[in-house]
Structure 1
Amino acid sequence: MNILTKNSKIIYSGTGRRKTSVARVKLVPGSGKLIINGLPGESYLQFSPNYLRVSCSPLQILGLNKEYDIYANTKGGGLTGQANAIRLGLARALCRMNPENRITLKAEGFLTRDARIKERKKYGLRKARKAPQYSKR
Protein backbone atom coordinates (compact mmCIF):
# COMPACT_ATOMS: atom_id res chain seq x y z
CA MET A 1 0.00 0.00 0.00
CA ASN A 2 1.43 3.38 -1.00
CA ILE A 3 0.70 6.26 1.36
CA LEU A 4 1.39 9.96 0.77
CA THR A 5 2.65 11.81 3.84
CA LYS A 6 2.34 15.51 4.65
CA ASN A 7 5.58 16.38 2.89
CA SER A 8 4.46 14.28 -0.13
CA LYS A 9 7.00 11.47 0.29
CA ILE A 10 5.75 8.10 -0.88
CA ILE A 11 5.84 5.40 1.79
CA TYR A 12 5.94 1.71 0.87
CA SER A 13 4.87 -0.82 3.48
CA GLY A 14 5.06 -4.55 3.99
CA THR A 15 4.30 -7.08 6.71
CA GLY A 16 6.65 -9.89 7.67
CA ARG A 17 6.19 -12.82 10.03
CA ARG A 18 8.55 -15.41 11.51
CA LYS A 19 7.76 -17.86 14.35
CA THR A 20 5.62 -15.69 16.66
CA SER A 21 7.12 -12.37 15.54
CA VAL A 22 5.26 -9.85 13.40
CA ALA A 23 6.92 -6.82 11.79
CA ARG A 24 5.18 -3.95 10.02
CA VAL A 25 7.82 -2.25 7.88
CA LYS A 26 7.63 1.18 6.23
CA LEU A 27 10.13 2.22 3.57
CA VAL A 28 10.68 5.99 3.24
CA PRO A 29 13.14 7.80 0.96
CA GLY A 30 16.00 8.96 3.17
CA SER A 31 19.59 8.27 4.17
CA GLY A 32 19.61 4.60 5.23
CA LYS A 33 18.46 4.75 8.87
CA LEU A 34 16.96 1.71 10.58
CA ILE A 35 14.42 2.52 13.30
CA ILE A 36 12.78 -0.37 15.17
CA ASN A 37 9.99 0.38 17.68
CA GLY A 38 11.18 3.98 17.93
CA LEU A 39 14.80 3.04 18.76
CA PRO A 40 17.86 3.01 16.49
CA GLY A 41 18.19 -0.42 14.90
CA GLU A 42 21.70 -1.02 16.25
CA SER A 43 20.66 -0.58 19.87
CA TYR A 44 17.37 -2.50 19.47
CA LEU A 45 19.17 -5.47 17.91
CA GLN A 46 21.84 -5.26 20.65
CA PHE A 47 24.61 -4.20 18.25
CA SER A 48 24.66 -7.71 16.74
CA PRO A 49 26.19 -7.54 13.26
CA ASN A 50 24.35 -10.72 12.25
CA TYR A 51 20.89 -9.35 13.11
CA LEU A 52 21.68 -6.03 11.40
CA ARG A 53 22.94 -7.79 8.28
CA VAL A 54 19.87 -10.05 8.13
CA SER A 55 17.32 -7.28 8.56
CA CYS A 56 18.87 -4.96 5.94
CA SER A 57 19.94 -7.62 3.43
CA PRO A 58 17.17 -7.01 0.81
CA LEU A 59 18.31 -3.38 0.43
CA GLN A 60 21.96 -4.43 0.15
CA ILE A 61 21.19 -7.01 -2.55
CA LEU A 62 19.45 -4.32 -4.62
CA GLY A 63 22.11 -1.70 -3.83
CA LEU A 64 19.63 0.71 -2.22
CA ASN A 65 20.97 0.65 1.37
CA LYS A 66 21.73 4.42 1.52
CA GLU A 67 18.60 5.61 -0.30
CA TYR A 68 15.77 4.55 2.03
CA ASP A 69 14.99 4.74 5.74
CA ILE A 70 13.41 1.69 7.35
CA TYR A 71 10.80 2.16 10.07
CA ALA A 72 9.79 -1.17 11.61
CA ASN A 73 7.22 -1.92 14.29
CA THR A 74 7.77 -5.41 15.72
CA LYS A 75 6.15 -7.48 18.41
CA GLY A 76 6.32 -11.05 19.66
CA GLY A 77 9.09 -13.62 19.66
CA GLY A 78 12.78 -12.91 20.12
CA LEU A 79 15.40 -10.94 18.25
CA THR A 80 16.09 -13.65 15.67
CA GLY A 81 12.43 -13.96 14.72
CA GLN A 82 11.99 -10.20 14.67
CA ALA A 83 15.06 -9.66 12.46
CA ASN A 84 13.80 -12.27 9.98
CA ALA A 85 10.30 -10.77 10.08
CA ILE A 86 11.76 -7.34 9.27
CA ARG A 87 13.64 -8.89 6.34
CA LEU A 88 10.45 -10.39 4.89
CA GLY A 89 8.46 -7.17 5.40
CA LEU A 90 11.21 -5.12 3.80
CA ALA A 91 11.37 -7.47 0.81
CA ARG A 92 7.61 -7.22 0.34
CA ALA A 93 7.76 -3.41 0.53
CA LEU A 94 10.52 -3.38 -2.10
CA CYS A 95 8.33 -5.52 -4.38
CA ARG A 96 5.51 -2.99 -4.04
CA MET A 97 7.94 -0.21 -4.87
CA ASN A 98 9.16 -1.81 -8.09
CA PRO A 99 7.79 -5.15 -9.37
CA GLU A 100 11.11 -5.81 -11.14
CA ASN A 101 12.77 -6.20 -7.71
CA ARG A 102 10.71 -9.35 -7.20
CA ILE A 103 12.90 -11.42 -9.54
CA THR A 104 16.10 -10.66 -7.61
CA LEU A 105 14.53 -11.00 -4.16
CA LYS A 106 12.77 -14.26 -5.05
CA ALA A 107 16.04 -15.77 -6.29
CA GLU A 108 17.73 -14.87 -2.97
CA GLY A 109 14.85 -16.46 -1.01
CA PHE A 110 13.77 -13.24 0.71
CA LEU A 111 10.11 -13.54 -0.28
CA THR A 112 9.59 -17.01 1.20
CA ARG A 113 7.78 -17.08 4.53
CA ASP A 114 9.55 -19.49 6.89
CA ALA A 115 6.67 -21.69 8.08
CA ARG A 116 8.56 -23.37 10.95
CA ILE A 117 6.76 -22.65 14.21
CA LYS A 118 6.74 -24.31 17.62
CA GLU A 119 4.88 -27.61 17.72
CA ARG A 120 1.98 -27.85 20.18
CA LYS A 121 2.24 -29.87 23.38
CA LYS A 122 0.37 -33.18 23.34
CA TYR A 123 -1.42 -34.71 26.33
CA GLY A 124 0.47 -37.42 28.19
CA LEU A 125 3.80 -35.89 27.17
CA ARG A 126 5.98 -33.32 28.90
CA LYS A 127 6.56 -31.24 25.74
CA ALA A 128 5.59 -31.72 22.10
CA ARG A 129 7.51 -35.00 21.83
CA LYS A 130 9.32 -35.54 25.14
CA ALA A 131 7.76 -38.47 27.00
CA PRO A 132 7.96 -39.09 30.75
CA GLN A 133 10.69 -41.50 31.84
CA TYR A 134 9.76 -45.12 31.29
CA SER A 135 9.83 -47.29 34.40
CA LYS A 136 9.66 -51.07 33.98
CA ARG A 137 8.81 -51.74 37.66
Structure 2
Amino acid sequence: MYKTKTCDSRIHVCVGKKTSVAEVKLCLNNEFVLVINNSVNDNRKHDSLFKFITHNVFDLIRCNNFQMFADVKGDGITSQIHAIRLAVVKCLLCSNDGIRLILKANNYVTTDRRIVERKKYGHCKSEEILSISKR
Protein backbone atom coordinates (compact mmCIF):
# COMPACT_ATOMS: atom_id res chain seq x y z
CA MET A 1 0.00 0.00 0.00
CA TYR A 2 2.40 2.69 1.21
CA LYS A 3 6.11 2.54 1.66
CA THR A 4 6.77 2.57 5.38
CA LYS A 5 10.08 1.83 7.01
CA THR A 6 11.56 2.34 10.43
CA CYS A 7 15.17 3.04 11.27
CA ASP A 8 16.80 4.78 14.24
CA SER A 9 13.35 5.01 15.92
CA ARG A 10 12.07 7.14 13.01
CA ILE A 11 9.19 6.17 10.77
CA HIS A 12 9.44 7.10 7.08
CA VAL A 13 6.29 7.26 4.93
CA CYS A 14 5.79 8.46 1.36
CA VAL A 15 2.18 9.32 0.41
CA GLY A 16 0.49 11.04 -2.53
CA LYS A 17 -2.63 13.16 -2.84
CA LYS A 18 -3.69 14.22 -6.36
CA THR A 19 -0.30 15.18 -7.84
CA SER A 20 1.30 16.11 -4.50
CA VAL A 21 3.76 13.76 -2.87
CA ALA A 22 4.70 14.06 0.79
CA GLU A 23 7.54 12.21 2.47
CA VAL A 24 7.30 12.42 6.25
CA LYS A 25 9.77 11.29 8.91
CA LEU A 26 8.27 11.11 12.39
CA CYS A 27 9.93 10.38 15.73
CA LEU A 28 9.25 11.00 19.40
CA ASN A 29 10.63 14.15 20.98
CA ASN A 30 10.18 16.23 24.13
CA GLU A 31 8.32 18.97 22.24
CA PHE A 32 6.50 19.39 18.94
CA VAL A 33 8.89 20.27 16.10
CA LEU A 34 7.77 20.68 12.48
CA VAL A 35 10.16 21.16 9.57
CA ILE A 36 8.82 21.43 6.00
CA ASN A 37 11.17 21.18 3.00
CA ASN A 38 14.24 21.65 5.26
CA SER A 39 12.96 25.06 6.38
CA VAL A 40 11.86 25.82 9.93
CA ASN A 41 10.19 29.10 8.85
CA ASP A 42 7.99 27.87 6.01
CA ASN A 43 4.98 30.01 5.00
CA ARG A 44 2.60 27.05 5.17
CA LYS A 45 3.17 26.60 8.90
CA HIS A 46 1.55 29.96 9.67
CA ASP A 47 -1.54 29.27 7.54
CA SER A 48 -4.66 28.67 9.64
CA LEU A 49 -5.93 25.89 7.34
CA PHE A 50 -2.58 24.12 7.61
CA LYS A 51 -2.60 24.33 11.40
CA PHE A 52 -6.18 23.07 11.58
CA ILE A 53 -5.64 20.10 9.26
CA THR A 54 -2.29 18.87 10.55
CA HIS A 55 -2.62 19.61 14.26
CA ASN A 56 -6.11 18.15 14.42
CA VAL A 57 -4.62 14.65 14.06
CA PHE A 58 -2.34 15.18 17.06
CA ASP A 59 -5.21 16.66 19.08
CA LEU A 60 -7.33 13.57 18.41
CA ILE A 61 -4.73 11.18 19.78
CA ARG A 62 -3.87 13.62 22.61
CA CYS A 63 -0.13 13.50 21.99
CA ASN A 64 1.96 16.46 20.82
CA ASN A 65 5.53 15.36 21.48
CA PHE A 66 6.64 14.49 17.96
CA GLN A 67 9.41 15.69 15.73
CA MET A 68 8.22 15.78 12.12
CA PHE A 69 10.24 16.37 8.96
CA ALA A 70 8.14 16.73 5.79
CA ASP A 71 9.32 17.02 2.21
CA VAL A 72 6.41 17.90 -0.06
CA LYS A 73 6.28 18.56 -3.81
CA GLY A 74 3.70 19.16 -6.51
CA ASP A 75 0.20 20.59 -6.99
CA GLY A 76 -1.40 23.23 -4.77
CA ILE A 77 -1.04 24.06 -1.10
CA THR A 78 -4.28 22.38 -0.03
CA SER A 79 -3.42 19.03 -1.58
CA GLN A 80 0.08 19.30 -0.10
CA ILE A 81 -1.46 19.82 3.34
CA HIS A 82 -3.73 16.80 2.90
CA ALA A 83 -0.78 14.70 1.68
CA ILE A 84 1.19 15.67 4.80
CA ARG A 85 -1.78 14.80 7.02
CA LEU A 86 -2.24 11.41 5.36
CA ALA A 87 1.48 10.66 5.74
CA VAL A 88 1.35 11.61 9.43
CA VAL A 89 -1.65 9.32 9.93
CA LYS A 90 0.17 6.43 8.26
CA CYS A 91 3.22 7.07 10.48
CA LEU A 92 1.08 7.06 13.60
CA LEU A 93 -0.69 3.86 12.54
CA CYS A 94 2.67 2.21 11.91
CA SER A 95 3.83 3.10 15.42
CA ASN A 96 0.57 2.33 17.28
CA ASP A 97 -2.29 0.40 15.68
CA GLY A 98 -4.56 1.01 18.69
CA ILE A 99 -5.48 4.51 17.48
CA ARG A 100 -6.87 3.19 14.19
CA LEU A 101 -10.50 3.31 15.39
CA ILE A 102 -10.21 6.95 16.49
CA LEU A 103 -8.66 8.06 13.20
CA LYS A 104 -11.02 5.94 11.09
CA ALA A 105 -14.08 7.43 12.84
CA ASN A 106 -12.90 10.89 11.71
CA ASN A 107 -12.14 9.74 8.11
CA TYR A 108 -8.38 10.27 8.34
CA VAL A 109 -7.41 6.75 7.26
CA THR A 110 -9.17 6.79 3.87
CA THR A 111 -7.18 7.56 0.77
CA ASP A 112 -8.46 9.56 -2.20
CA ARG A 113 -6.17 9.52 -5.25
CA ARG A 114 -8.65 11.12 -7.69
CA ILE A 115 -7.24 13.62 -10.13
CA VAL A 116 -8.86 15.87 -12.71
CA GLU A 117 -9.70 14.10 -15.95
CA ARG A 118 -7.65 15.29 -18.89
CA LYS A 119 -9.10 17.48 -21.63
CA LYS A 120 -10.09 15.57 -24.78
CA TYR A 121 -9.18 16.79 -28.26
CA GLY A 122 -11.90 18.92 -29.83
CA HIS A 123 -13.79 19.51 -26.60
CA CYS A 124 -13.55 22.40 -24.20
CA LYS A 125 -13.71 20.19 -21.06
CA SER A 126 -13.89 16.55 -20.13
CA GLU A 127 -17.42 17.11 -18.75
CA GLU A 128 -18.70 17.77 -22.25
CA ILE A 129 -18.10 14.16 -23.22
CA LEU A 130 -20.15 12.97 -20.25
CA SER A 131 -23.14 15.13 -21.20
CA ILE A 132 -23.01 13.94 -24.85
CA SER A 133 -22.79 10.26 -23.90
CA LYS A 134 -25.84 10.54 -21.59
CA ARG A 135 -28.12 11.65 -24.45
Give the TM interval when normalised to the shorter protein: 0.7 to 0.9
User: Deviation string for 1:11-35 (max 9, x for gaps)?
Assistant: 0122222111010111111211111
Distance in 2 between the 1:37 and 1:100 partners? 30
Distance in 2 between the 1:113 and 1:59 partners? 19
Equivalent residue letter for 1:37: N
Please give the residue correspondences for 1:119-134 in structure 2 after superposition, counting only pairs within 5 Å. 119-129=117-127
User: Deviation string for 1:44-95 (max 9, x for gaps)?
Assistant: 3162111122123221210112x10111111111110100000000000000
Consecutive unaligned residues in structure 2, runs of 5 or more: 130-135
Query: Are residue 17 (structure 1) and residue 21 (structure 2) matched?
Result: no
Consecutive unaligned residues in structure 1, runs of 5 or more: 5-9, 132-137
Partner of 2:6: 2
Please give the residue correspondences for 1:53-68 in structure 2 after superposition, counting only pairs within 5 Å. 53-65=52-64, 67-68=65-66
Q: CA deviation at 1:116?
A: 2.7
Q: Which has the larger radius of gyration?
A: 1
Deviating above 6 A after TM superposition, structure 1's stretches of 4 or more consecutive aligned residues are: none
Structure 1 or 2: larger helix share? 2
Distance in 2 between the 1:47 and 1:59 partners? 17
Q: TM-score, normalised by structure 2?
A: 0.83
How many residues matched?
124
* Alpha-carbon contact 2:23-2:84 (below 8 Å) kept: yes
RMSD of aligned Cα (Å): 1.7
**Larger deviation: 90-99 or 54-63?**
54-63
* Alpha-carbon contact 2:45-2:51 (below 8 Å) kept: no
Q: Work out which of the residue numbers 80, 83, 86 in structure 1 matches 2:84.
A: 86
